[in-house]
Amino acid sequence: MKGPVLIFDSGVGGLSVAQSLRQHYPDAAMCYACDNAWLPYGLREDTALTNRIVAVCCAAVEACQPSVLVVACNTASTLALENLRARLAIPVVGTVPAIKPAAAISQTRHIGLLATKATVGRPYTQRLIDSFASDCIITRVAADALVVEAEAYLAGITPNIGRMQAALAPLWQAAAPLSANVPLDTVVLGCTHFPLLKPWLTQLAPVPLHWVDSGDAIARRVAQVVDGLNHSEQQDGRCFTTAPATNLTAGLARYGFQTPQLLPITS
Ligand code: DGL
């Protein structure tokens, strides 16, 4: 493989995936692209969002000539993977809620799905549940407010605990020993922004829970679709945004990415 791994998200959520990739492949060259001009994706209309995702990913692929595109966004992957694969000549690895690994470990057979409003309602998500967790109760919690908190955190602002607790209340209710159903014991972090908040999530949870994200599965999948990950000095660490992001420069640097360049988007 010659080109870098290109990681794409609406915002900083893909950095949680970049972290998993670096743990597995410390020498691989990586570029990062985010569509911060359209953030958050979770509240956007499907057709316009699909066109936008394709336009931004094509521009980012043109700019950094990667060997593989990792769509490090559940909201984008559950909507636009087919469109992206039809347009791009390189492998495209998606990120979808980790329902299967969660079902493999849940003892109570009650799983929480914490994701954006779009992802919790998508047919793709329902198919994952039908295929891998049909014997489980799934409590779906749309927590778009946590995307905002994760973005703020990367910009150096401590997450707002009151706003986090308001978004998480339905999850805590379903985890309580006296809930109407058997309590949930496992939570799928079905948005790549949420692992960035894991220290707060684990601290705020009223009972110990299993937290499952897609990072390791994506890293394994990347190794399957490319033949070897090399370090490419020229491209490594390049970063692209669709709107100025000076507030994120320090946060991006902590994850090994350079000061962002603006991506030219025509649509
Ligand atoms: N990080 C994205 C995901 O995994 C969503 C954030 C957004 O709503 O833009 O779904």
Rounded CA separation 164/145 (Å): 7
Domains 5-95+216-262 and 99-210 share a fold: yes
The low-confidence residues of the chain, meaning pLDDT below 70, are: 1, 179-180, 230-233, 267
Interval 148-157: pLDDT, tens: 999 999 999 9
**CATH code for the domain defined by 99-210:** 3.40.50.1860
Domain ranges for the chain, please list them. 5-95+216-262, 99-210
> For residue 193, which atom of ligand 1 is closest to its CA?
1
Distance 248 CA to ligand 1 centre (A): 17
> For residue 10, which atom of ligand 1 is closest to its CA?
9
> For residue 147, which atom of ligand 1 is closest to its CA?
6
| Averaged pLDDT of the chain | 95
- Residue 61 structure tokens: 């692929």
**Could you tell me the pTM of the whole model?**
0.96
Residue nearest to atom 2 of ligand 1 (CA): 73
Is 5-95+216-262 CATH 3.40.50.1860? yes
Annotation marks residue 57 as catalytic: no
- Residue 259 structure tokens: 């000061």
Interval 12-36: pLDDT, tens: 999 999 999 999 999 899 999 999 9
Question: Which of the residues 31, 57, 136, 191 is marked catalytic?
Answer: 191
Query: For position 177, what pLDDT does the model report?
Result: 80
Distance 118 CA to ligand 1 centre (A): 9
The string of DSSP codes covering 77-104 is HHHHHHHHHHH-SS-EE-----HHHHHH
Distance 178 CA to ligand 1 centre (A): 32
